[in-house]
Amino acid sequence: MNTTDHPFTRATASTLGAEALLAVWNEAYRGYFVPFQFDAAMLQRHMLLGSIDLDRSCVWFDGKTPMAVALAGVRGTRAWLGGWGIAPDWRGKRHSLPLVRDFMQVQVAAGAREIALEALEQNWALRTYEQAGFAYTRRLLVLEGGLNCAPRPGQSASTDTVLTALATLPRAPACWQRDIAALRAQADLQPVCIGSANAITGAALVRIDGDWLRVTDIASSPDATDALLAALAAAADGRQVRLVNEPEGTLAEALCAAGLAIANAQREMAWRPG
């Protein structure tokens, strides 16, 4: 452990057992804007998909009591703030900025040349991130609802084929959770695509979760969007559809026109030296 310009002691999250880390996470997110309490499996999935490095993730202690946590996703020289919160007893006391800066120092010392994050638009921490030097990059939407387009099955394709298509179809840059590393880490994803085996014009990776069809990633050429949404409707088979972190743009507009609605929105932000 070591200390910095705040009254707390910092440890790497790797020094905590899985049960202790889960307890710290849930306390830090108690009373959050949306339900964000995890069980052990949910936290494990979050860490896997976010490429979380516990040796670069931080837990801060007030004496022997954990009071804040920040998980660090790491991919090469890129880092990601994959969950950051302060326990209720320490909120509103001007601790946020020094702790965020402390987290940033840990990442830079380990070789990070960029740190990304997403935060809900109603999150009080947005001002803290701005003060720490993070710049707004774009708005990411959480879309959900039922698709009202006529279902029409898409083409058969392997997950690898769809991953290749997602990397080549017209689209905005992938956010952290849609990076190829995150997609490859999910063995339970099912491909949805249209076009031919040699010329896929629209593709998505989805996961059935009870009454929901969760769309993990999606991309389409402009003239194929309607057909892709029809294939998504067929895959949903009456389930509600949910996408997280869909960038604003023509595809998001088409999804809303087909029946989805904006349930929430996040600000994507990034920090780079200089």
For the segment 124-141, the average pLDDT, to the nearest whole number, is 97
For the segment 11-35, the average pLDDT, to the nearest whole number, is 95
Lowest-confidence range among 192-201, 203-212, 231-240, 258-267?
A: 192-201
- Residue 226 pLDDT more than 80? yes
Q: By three-state DSSP, how is residue 40 classified?
A: helix
Which amino acid appears at position 103 of this protein?
Answer: F
- Please report, to the nearest 10 degrees, the dihedral formed by the alpha carbons of residues 19, 24, 272, 129 taken in order: 160
Answer yes or no: are the C-beta atoms of 248 and 171 closer than 8 Å: no
* DSSP tag of 126: H
The Cα–Cα gap between 187 and 185 comes to 6
Lowest-confidence range among 29-38, 112-121, 234-243, 247-256?
A: 29-38
Summarised one tens digit per residue, pLDDT across range 170-201 is 888 999 999 999 999 999 999 999 998 778 99
Share of the chain above pLDDT 90, in %: 90
For the segment 227-251, the average pLDDT, to the nearest whole number, is 97
The confidence score (pLDDT) of residue 5 equals 75
- Residue found under tokens 């200390």: 3
- List the structure tokens of 211: 């009454």
Lowest-confidence range among 10-14, 40-44, 56-60, 192-196?
A: 192-196
Which helix (H) or strand (E) segment holds residue 187: the answer is: none
Share of the chain above pLDDT 70, in %: 99
The confidence score (pLDDT) of residue 1 equals 39
Helix, strand, coil distribution of the chain in percent, nearest 5? 35, 35, 30
Gap between the terminal Cα atoms of the chain:
29
Answer yes or no: are the C-beta atoms of 145 and 111 closer than 8 Å: no
The Cα–Cα gap between 248 and 257 comes to 13
Summarised one tens digit per residue, pLDDT across range 248-264 is 999 999 999 999 999 99
The confidence score (pLDDT) of residue 4 equals 61
- Residue 9 pLDDT more than 50? yes
**Average pLDDT, whole number, for the chain?**
95
Strands, E assignment, the chain: 2-3, 9-12, 58-62, 65-75, 78-86, 114-120, 135-145, 190-196, 199-209, 212-220, 240-247, 261-271
The helix/strand count (H/E) of the chain reads as 8, 12
15-22 contacts, C-beta under 8 A, 24 or more apart = 15/59, 16/59, 16/66, 18/43, 18/44, 20/66, 21/54, 21/59, 21/69
Half-sphere exposure in the Cβ direction for 53 (13 Å, CA): 17
The Cα–Cα gap between 43 and 41 comes to 5
Structural domains in the chain, sorted by start? 2-133 (3.40.630.30), 142-267 (3.40.630.30)
The Cα–Cα gap between 38 and 29 comes to 9
The confidence score (pLDDT) of residue 6 equals 83
- Residue 23 pLDDT more than 50? yes
